[in-house]
Amino acid sequence: MSCAQFRESILEAALTPARDAYESGLRPGLRAHLADCAACRELLAQERALAGSIDAGLRARVAGGPSAEFVARIRQRIGAEPATASWFRRWQPTLAGAMVLVIAVTVWFSAPERIAVPPQQPVSSTPQPAGPISPRPTESVTTGADQGIRPEASLRPNVARPPQEAQAPELWAEVLIEPREREGVRWLHAALQSRASRIAAVLAGQGATREDPLRPLGFADLQVAPVEIAPMSSGSEAGGGKSVAQQEK
């Protein structure tokens, strides 16, 4: 084998910490090559010298000890620590936790009982954009909760509700639909009413009262009314359209 093939082995061997036992730890092939090759022996010697210098330099870097006053200065600095620091630091985590707890409880009890959602008013039909395009006929569907959908909702569970909540204003929702969707909306409303009444009957059989939290299952009547919107270009006559309300039961 050539010297180049042994080079890495020589470099690695030179860095082996236990250099006293180095010769015996050499691989037989490397040992035989070194016996014949003066250049590789020279390389090994150089690398071992370099490793030795590195070790000596590292030892020199961390050699020596502190001055004679070193320990006395530490005692002095420790003595200068505030007397209260020791116990305060020990109880610091506990104190911090207690403060956080107090703040949390204060915030919890000082916050408003409920977060009020403003009651929704019936939404009037929205006029179509002005232009030569004649408005598409639409219908206004309005439904609401006579006793069910609560206009206000409490975000806190298990909190006693104030008495005024029972007198919450009714909530009405008004949407615009295409005439062809009328039957579908009626069907949906009827289905929901039917299911709500069935659930209410089951609850009643189980002794549930009107005060039951499942009250929102109730549905109000459905009103379908056509909406006429005159094009904006018709000037003052734009508002002349009239709605015909059709009440259904």
Partner 1 sequence: MEGSVLTGEPREATLEREFEQRLADSSRLAFRVALGVLRHREDAEDVAQEAFVRAYRNFHRLRDRDRFQAWLARITWRLAIDRLRAAGRRARYEDSAAAEWMAADRTESAQPSVEQMAATREFQRRLDRAVDELPEKLRAVVLLAAIEGHDTQEVARLLGIPEGTVKSRLHIARRKLAEKLR
Residues at the site binding partner 1, with contacts judged by CB under 8 A: 11-12, 14-15, 17, 47, 50-51, 53-55, 57-67, 70-71, 73-75, 77-78, 81, 85-86, 89-90
Cβ of residue 20: shortest distance to partner 1, in angstroms? 15
Cα–Cα nearest to 213, from 153, 143, 170: 153
Distance between CA atoms of residues 33 and 41, nearest Å: 9
- β-strand partners of 227: 138
Q: Are 120 and 171 in contact (CB under 8 A)?
A: yes
- Find the shortest distance in angstroms from Cβ 23 to partner 1: 19
Q: Quick check: helix, strand or coil at residue 82?
A: coil
The backbone region for 131, taken as left when phi is positive above 0, alpha when psi lies in -120 to 50, beta otherwise, is left
Min. distance of Cβ 52 from partner 1 in angstroms? 11
**57/205 with CB nearer partner 1:** 57
Nearer to partner 1, 66 or 129 (CB): 66
Place of tokens 């007397």: 83
Report the residue number, 70 or 108, with the smaller CB distance to partner 1.
70
Q: How far is the CB of 171 from partner 1 (least distance, A)?
A: 59
Looking at the Cβ atoms of 74 and 111, the one nearer to partner 1 is 74
